[in-house]
Structure 1
Amino acid sequence: MNNRMLLALATATAMTFALPAFAADSAQDFVDKAAAGGMFEVDSSKIAEDTAQDQAVKDFAQKMIDDHGAANAKLQTIAGEQKLTVPKELDAKHKADLDTLQNAKDAVDKPYVQLQRDAHSEAVTLFESYAKDGDNAQLKTFASETLPTLKMHQEMIEKIAATGTSTTGEAAPATSSTTPAVTTTDTANPAAPVPGANSFTEDQAKDRIQDAGYSDVSKLTKDEQGIWRGQATKDGKNTTVALDYQGNIVAGTN
């Protein structure tokens, strides 16, 4: 009997460790983790919006406040309907990360970017896992609908991290028609915009173009190559603009 109990315990332990590191094992667990992550996104981004020196970082922080603020409100509504409890304060890990940011002696840009990279990696894992295997239909739908935005955020912060954040407040250089879209060591780089299956929705494409400094974005259509094309204004001038599946934005295209 003891051997059987030990075997059952070992099997249960193995199943636990087989789960993704940031997966949720119940509806309440998902709400706890998603709410804590969402609150951290807003709180940390408020710090960065006020104190970051790089404009690209400040712009990203503002988008996190807007997007995660809306997602947090939606999660709270669904959790209330499902009689689930939404935590009102951060867990210990996120509190420690927030303290690190608040107490940074130098510019917060680099620590904020790294915290955002980690946070979005965890969030994408959590939402992907629950969208696939979650035990609550409404929360599964919420996870599935929120996931594309989280992935877009992840692409944005990885791009900022790859470009490097300045300490002088200078914005990262904008993508141009001669900027390589793919970096390799032994092959020629195709120029953007790059054809390919484009997962951006029209709203996401518009947001991404606006985040790059364009306004009055209109007439967006996705062509047969998977490239969003439309009209926009920048520096007081009207121009055509294109967004490819990699997130490259190119002005003056046909």
Structure 2
Amino acid sequence: MRKPLLASALALALLAPSYALAATWPKSGSTATMTRTVRPDATTQNFLDKAWNINNFEIQAGREAQNKANTQEFLDYARRIVRDHTNMDDELKPIVQKDRLNAPNALDKEHQNLLQQLSSTTSARFEERFRTQQIDGHEKAVKLFESYAKTGQNPELKRWAQSAVPMLENHLRDAKALPRATQRSTRAD
């Protein structure tokens, strides 16, 4: 009686680890993959979400300005915004892919609303709204990028954030230098 019980216990002990391991593998025909997914810390995910939204909003807002702005200063600024933020996006993509991070695929509600406000505005009002949005957006962006560059957990995103700060500061400075509607009307006199 003792030998069959011992043999059964030994068989279970040998099979249990392989059963447990097999239970964690994807079943055949399953869409699950064996690649390791990286769940970033909350600070990193928050930064990535906000940075992606800021960057993609700037590209779209810049394109809108290229189509609607009436003055050369705004057109030049818009071209630079689109170019610089497209380059930032190109630098971010390999980091997201390499580290298997989850970047958004559409603008959040806040940035959708800002873009809608911009696209529904015309003429000199457009330029004033664009100017205001650029100042507000770049002030927030500089703070966000500086903060992550100092305290972030992902080394590649930290480097990306740090390298972007001078460009964002230049955009902010240049947005503040864009002529206000009252300045344009007095220059035309």
Taking structure 2 as the reference length, the TM-score comes to 0.72
The DSSP-based 3-state class of the residue aligned with 1:60 is: helix
Shift in Å, 1:168: 11
Q: What is the 5 A alignment of 1:86-105?
A: 86-105=103-122
2:68/2:123 contact within 8 Å kept? no
Q: What is the 5 A alignment of 1:210-225?
A: none
In structure 2, how many angstroms separate the alpha carbons of the residues matched to 1:169 and 1:52? 17
The DSSP-based 3-state class of the residue aligned with 2:178 is: helix
Q: Aligned residues: percent identity?
A: 31
2:61/2:118 contact within 8 Å kept? yes
In structure 2, how many angstroms separate the alpha carbons of the residues matched to 1:51 and 1:82? 38
The answer on 1:132 being equivalent to 2:150 is yes
Task: Name the structure where strand makes up a greater proportion of residues.
Answer: 1
Q: Residue 47 and residue 31 in structure 1: after superposition, are their counterparts in 2 closer, same or farther (change >3 A)? A: same
Shift in Å, 1:86: 1.4
Paired residue for 1:57? 74
Paired residue for 1:119? 137
Question: How many residues align structurally?
Answer: 147
Taking structure 1 as the reference length, the TM-score comes to 0.54
Q: Can you list the C-alpha shifts for 1:7-44, whole angstroms capped at 9, x where unaligned?
A: xxxxxxxxxxxxxxxxx952111111100000000001
The DSSP-based 3-state class of the residue aligned with 1:89 is: coil
2:55 corresponds to which of 38, 61, 82: 38
Q: Which amino acid aligns with 2:158?
A: K
1:47/1:102 contact within 8 Å kept? yes
Q: Residue 50 and residue 105 in structure 1: after superposition, are their counterparts in 2 closer, same or farther (change >3 A)? A: closer
Paired residue for 1:67? 84
1:151 corresponds to which of 142, 164, 169: 169
Q: Which amino acid aligns with 1:144?
A: Q
CA root-mean-square deviation: 2.3
Task: Name the structure where helix makes up a greater proportion of residues.
Answer: 2
With CA pairs under 8 Å and 6+ residues apart, which has the higher RCO, 1 or 2?
Answer: 2
Paired residue for 1:203? none
Structure with larger Rg: 2
The DSSP-based 3-state class of the residue aligned with 2:184 is: coil
